[in-house]
Amino acid sequence: GEDVEQSLFLSVREGDSSVINCTYTDSSSTYLYWYKQEPGAGLQLLTYIFSNMDMKQDQRLTVLLNKKDKHLSLRIADTQTGDSAIYFCAEFYSGGYQKVTFGTGTKLQVIP
Amino acid sequence: DAMVIQNPRYQVTQFGKPVTLSCSQTLNHNVMYWYQQKSSQAPKLLFHYYDKDFNNEADTPDNFQSRRPNTSFCFLDIRSPGLGDAAMYLCATRTYGTENTEAFFGQGTRLTVV
Protein backbone atom coordinates (compact mmCIF):
# COMPACT_ATOMS: atom_id res chain seq x y z
CA GLY A 1 0.00 0.00 0.00
CA GLU A 2 0.95 3.62 -0.29
CA ASP A 3 2.59 5.42 2.58
CA VAL A 4 3.89 8.97 2.43
CA GLU A 5 5.76 10.45 5.37
CA GLN A 6 7.05 13.87 6.29
CA SER A 7 8.56 15.51 9.32
CA LEU A 8 5.90 17.40 11.22
CA PHE A 9 7.47 20.76 11.84
CA LEU A 10 10.14 23.10 10.45
CA SER A 11 11.12 26.53 11.71
CA VAL A 12 13.32 28.90 9.69
CA ARG A 13 14.27 32.56 9.78
CA GLU A 14 12.97 34.91 7.14
CA GLY A 15 15.38 35.09 4.22
CA ASP A 16 16.86 31.63 4.86
CA SER A 17 16.17 28.59 2.72
CA SER A 18 13.68 25.96 3.85
CA VAL A 19 13.96 22.30 2.94
CA ILE A 20 10.96 20.08 3.46
CA ASN A 21 11.47 16.35 3.04
CA CYS A 22 9.14 13.53 2.10
CA THR A 23 9.51 9.79 1.71
CA TYR A 24 7.12 7.54 -0.13
CA THR A 25 6.78 3.83 -0.67
CA ASP A 26 4.89 3.33 -3.92
CA SER A 27 7.48 2.92 -6.65
CA SER A 28 4.78 3.04 -9.30
CA SER A 29 4.05 6.68 -8.52
CA THR A 30 3.98 8.67 -11.70
CA TYR A 31 3.87 12.19 -10.36
CA LEU A 32 4.81 13.71 -7.05
CA TYR A 33 3.28 16.94 -5.90
CA TRP A 34 3.78 19.63 -3.33
CA TYR A 35 0.68 21.32 -1.98
CA LYS A 36 0.43 24.29 0.37
CA GLN A 37 -2.37 24.68 2.89
CA GLU A 38 -2.90 27.91 4.76
CA PRO A 39 -5.02 27.91 7.93
CA GLY A 40 -8.67 27.12 7.27
CA ALA A 41 -8.13 26.87 3.53
CA GLY A 42 -8.08 24.19 0.87
CA LEU A 43 -4.99 22.85 -0.83
CA GLN A 44 -3.04 24.83 -3.38
CA LEU A 45 -0.75 23.06 -5.82
CA LEU A 46 2.73 24.58 -5.68
CA THR A 47 4.66 22.39 -8.03
CA TYR A 48 5.05 18.83 -9.20
CA ILE A 49 7.68 16.55 -10.66
CA PHE A 50 7.36 13.64 -13.02
CA SER A 51 8.88 10.44 -11.74
CA ASN A 52 11.53 10.28 -14.48
CA MET A 53 12.97 13.65 -13.49
CA ASP A 54 15.58 14.35 -10.83
CA MET A 55 15.05 18.03 -10.34
CA LYS A 56 12.65 20.78 -11.16
CA GLN A 57 13.06 24.48 -10.47
CA ASP A 58 10.21 26.94 -10.42
CA GLN A 59 11.17 30.44 -9.27
CA ARG A 60 11.95 30.14 -5.54
CA LEU A 61 10.99 26.47 -5.45
CA THR A 62 13.32 23.57 -6.20
CA VAL A 63 12.09 20.00 -6.13
CA LEU A 64 14.57 17.14 -5.88
CA LEU A 65 13.59 13.55 -6.46
CA ASN A 66 15.68 10.54 -5.55
CA LYS A 67 13.67 7.72 -7.02
CA LYS A 68 16.03 5.02 -5.80
CA ASP A 69 15.56 6.11 -2.18
CA LYS A 70 11.95 7.24 -2.78
CA HIS A 71 12.83 10.61 -1.32
CA LEU A 72 11.37 13.93 -2.39
CA SER A 73 12.31 17.37 -1.14
CA LEU A 74 11.06 20.91 -1.59
CA ARG A 75 13.48 23.78 -1.17
CA ILE A 76 12.09 27.28 -0.77
CA ALA A 77 14.70 29.95 -1.33
CA ASP A 78 14.53 33.28 0.49
CA THR A 79 11.69 32.09 2.71
CA GLN A 80 9.13 34.78 3.53
CA THR A 81 6.58 35.06 6.33
CA GLY A 82 3.87 34.44 3.74
CA ASP A 83 5.35 31.01 3.20
CA SER A 84 4.21 29.96 6.67
CA ALA A 85 1.75 27.14 6.07
CA ILE A 86 1.48 23.38 6.05
CA TYR A 87 3.14 21.69 3.11
CA PHE A 88 1.94 18.32 1.87
CA CYS A 89 3.71 16.07 -0.54
CA ALA A 90 1.49 13.75 -2.51
CA GLU A 91 2.00 10.90 -4.90
CA PHE A 92 -0.13 10.02 -7.85
CA TYR A 93 -0.24 6.90 -9.95
CA SER A 94 -1.63 7.53 -13.41
CA GLY A 95 -2.58 3.93 -13.99
CA GLY A 96 -6.06 2.54 -13.68
CA TYR A 97 -6.66 3.78 -10.16
CA GLN A 98 -6.50 7.57 -10.15
CA LYS A 99 -5.57 8.06 -6.53
CA VAL A 100 -3.66 10.93 -4.97
CA THR A 101 -2.15 9.99 -1.61
CA PHE A 102 -0.99 12.72 0.72
CA GLY A 103 1.81 12.81 3.23
CA THR A 104 1.32 13.78 6.83
CA GLY A 105 2.18 17.42 6.21
CA THR A 106 5.01 19.66 7.45
CA LYS A 107 4.15 22.85 9.27
CA LEU A 108 6.58 25.56 8.22
CA GLN A 109 7.00 28.44 10.62
CA VAL A 110 8.90 31.47 9.33
CA ILE A 111 10.37 33.67 12.03
CA PRO A 112 10.70 37.37 11.08
CA ASP B 1 -13.02 32.70 -10.24
CA ALA B 2 -13.50 29.68 -8.06
CA MET B 3 -13.50 26.48 -10.11
CA VAL B 4 -14.28 23.99 -7.36
CA ILE B 5 -16.89 25.30 -5.00
CA GLN B 6 -17.85 23.69 -1.76
CA ASN B 7 -20.93 24.62 0.20
CA PRO B 8 -21.29 25.48 2.91
CA ARG B 9 -17.84 26.56 4.17
CA TYR B 10 -18.89 25.77 7.73
CA GLN B 11 -21.52 23.25 8.74
CA VAL B 12 -22.74 22.47 12.23
CA THR B 13 -24.83 19.35 12.66
CA GLN B 14 -26.24 17.43 15.56
CA PHE B 15 -24.96 14.07 16.59
CA GLY B 16 -26.81 11.46 14.54
CA LYS B 17 -28.56 13.94 12.25
CA PRO B 18 -27.91 13.29 8.53
CA VAL B 19 -25.94 15.97 6.78
CA THR B 20 -25.02 16.60 3.15
CA LEU B 21 -22.01 18.50 1.89
CA SER B 22 -21.90 19.66 -1.69
CA CYS B 23 -19.23 20.24 -4.28
CA SER B 24 -19.59 21.74 -7.72
CA GLN B 25 -17.06 22.33 -10.46
CA THR B 26 -16.88 24.40 -13.59
CA LEU B 27 -13.91 22.52 -15.03
CA ASN B 28 -15.79 19.63 -16.63
CA HIS B 29 -13.36 17.21 -14.99
CA ASN B 30 -14.40 13.61 -15.02
CA VAL B 31 -12.82 12.62 -11.71
CA MET B 32 -14.10 14.00 -8.41
CA TYR B 33 -12.67 13.14 -5.00
CA TRP B 34 -13.79 13.53 -1.42
CA TYR B 35 -11.14 13.78 1.26
CA GLN B 36 -11.52 13.96 5.02
CA GLN B 37 -8.89 15.97 6.87
CA LYS B 38 -8.77 15.96 10.63
CA SER B 39 -6.77 18.47 12.57
CA SER B 40 -3.01 18.20 11.96
CA GLN B 41 -3.44 15.18 9.71
CA ALA B 42 -3.07 14.47 6.03
CA PRO B 43 -6.15 14.51 3.84
CA LYS B 44 -7.53 11.01 3.71
CA LEU B 45 -9.31 9.82 0.60
CA LEU B 46 -12.84 8.61 1.28
CA PHE B 47 -13.92 7.81 -2.28
CA HIS B 48 -13.84 9.12 -5.80
CA TYR B 49 -15.89 9.07 -8.96
CA TYR B 50 -14.55 8.52 -12.42
CA ASP B 51 -17.53 9.74 -14.41
CA LYS B 52 -20.37 7.76 -12.86
CA ASP B 53 -18.13 4.96 -11.60
CA PHE B 54 -17.91 5.08 -7.83
CA ASN B 55 -14.71 3.94 -6.14
CA ASN B 56 -14.85 3.51 -2.39
CA GLU B 57 -11.74 3.26 -0.24
CA ALA B 58 -11.66 0.03 1.72
CA ASP B 59 -11.54 1.75 5.10
CA THR B 60 -14.25 4.35 4.47
CA PRO B 61 -17.06 3.76 6.98
CA ASP B 62 -20.50 2.84 5.67
CA ASN B 63 -21.76 5.99 7.35
CA PHE B 64 -20.28 7.94 4.44
CA GLN B 65 -22.03 7.87 1.10
CA SER B 66 -21.69 9.87 -2.07
CA ARG B 67 -23.78 10.85 -5.06
CA ARG B 68 -22.80 12.32 -8.37
CA PRO B 69 -25.94 13.22 -10.30
CA ASN B 70 -24.02 14.87 -13.14
CA THR B 71 -20.49 15.92 -14.12
CA SER B 72 -20.65 19.19 -12.23
CA PHE B 73 -21.94 18.12 -8.84
CA CYS B 74 -20.89 15.65 -6.21
CA PHE B 75 -22.38 15.23 -2.74
CA LEU B 76 -21.07 13.72 0.45
CA ASP B 77 -23.78 12.30 2.70
CA ILE B 78 -23.04 11.43 6.31
CA ARG B 79 -25.94 9.33 7.48
CA SER B 80 -25.40 9.50 11.21
CA PRO B 81 -22.59 11.88 12.12
CA GLY B 82 -20.60 11.07 15.20
CA LEU B 83 -18.26 13.31 17.14
CA GLY B 84 -15.36 11.62 15.42
CA ASP B 85 -16.59 12.80 12.03
CA ALA B 86 -15.84 16.42 12.83
CA ALA B 87 -13.25 17.41 10.25
CA MET B 88 -12.54 19.45 7.17
CA TYR B 89 -13.98 17.80 4.08
CA LEU B 90 -12.20 18.58 0.85
CA CYS B 91 -13.49 18.05 -2.65
CA ALA B 92 -11.10 17.84 -5.57
CA THR B 93 -11.40 17.34 -9.29
CA ARG B 94 -9.06 16.34 -12.08
CA THR B 95 -9.11 15.01 -15.59
CA TYR B 96 -8.50 11.31 -15.94
CA GLY B 97 -5.55 10.35 -18.03
CA THR B 98 -1.91 9.41 -18.16
CA GLU B 99 -0.81 12.98 -18.71
CA ASN B 100 -0.26 14.97 -15.60
CA THR B 101 -3.24 16.98 -14.61
CA GLU B 102 -3.50 19.05 -11.51
CA ALA B 103 -6.03 18.11 -8.87
CA PHE B 104 -7.98 21.26 -8.08
CA PHE B 105 -9.26 21.56 -4.55
CA GLY B 106 -12.19 23.44 -3.15
CA GLN B 107 -11.86 25.55 -0.03
CA GLY B 108 -13.34 22.78 2.05
CA THR B 109 -16.28 22.45 4.39
CA ARG B 110 -15.49 22.40 8.08
CA LEU B 111 -17.96 20.13 9.80
CA THR B 112 -18.69 20.46 13.50
CA VAL B 113 -20.78 17.81 15.27
CA VAL B 114 -22.54 18.86 18.46
Residue A44: list chain B partners with CB under 8 A.
Answer: 105
User: Does B100 touch chain A if contact means CB atoms closer than 8 Å?
Assistant: yes
* Whole-number pLDDT of residue A41: 81
Answer yes or no: are the C-beta atoms of B76 and B89 closer than 8 Å: yes
Closest listed residue to residue B88, CA positions, set B1, B6, B25: B6
* Whole-number pLDDT of residue B35: 94
* Whole-number pLDDT of residue B96: 77
Contact B106 A42 (CB under 8 A): yes
User: Does B7 touch chain A if contact means CB atoms closer than 8 Å?
Assistant: no
Closest listed residue to residue A50, CA positions, set B101, B97, B100: B100
Predicted confidence pLDDT, tens digits, chain A (112 residues): 457 889 889 999 999 999 999 998 877 767 889 999 998 788 888 998 888 889 999 999 999 999 889 899 999 999 999 999 999 999 877 665 567 889 989 999 999 9
Where chain B has pLDDT below 70, the residues are 1-2, 97-101
Answer yes or no: are the C-beta atoms of B99 and A101 closer than 8 Å: no
* Whole-number pLDDT of residue A3: 78
* Whole-number pLDDT of residue A100: 80
User: Does A4 touch chain B if contact means CB atoms closer than 8 Å?
Assistant: yes
Residue from B10, B54, B100 whose CB has the most chain A CBs within 10 Å, to mutate:
B100
**What CA–CA distance (Å, rounded) separates B67 from B85?**
19
* Whole-number pLDDT of residue A95: 62
Residue from A98, A99, A101, A102 whose CB has the most chain B CBs within 10 Å, to mutate:
A98
Nearest CB among B43, B48, B104 relative to A98 is that of B48
Q: A63 - beta bridge partners?
A: A56, A74
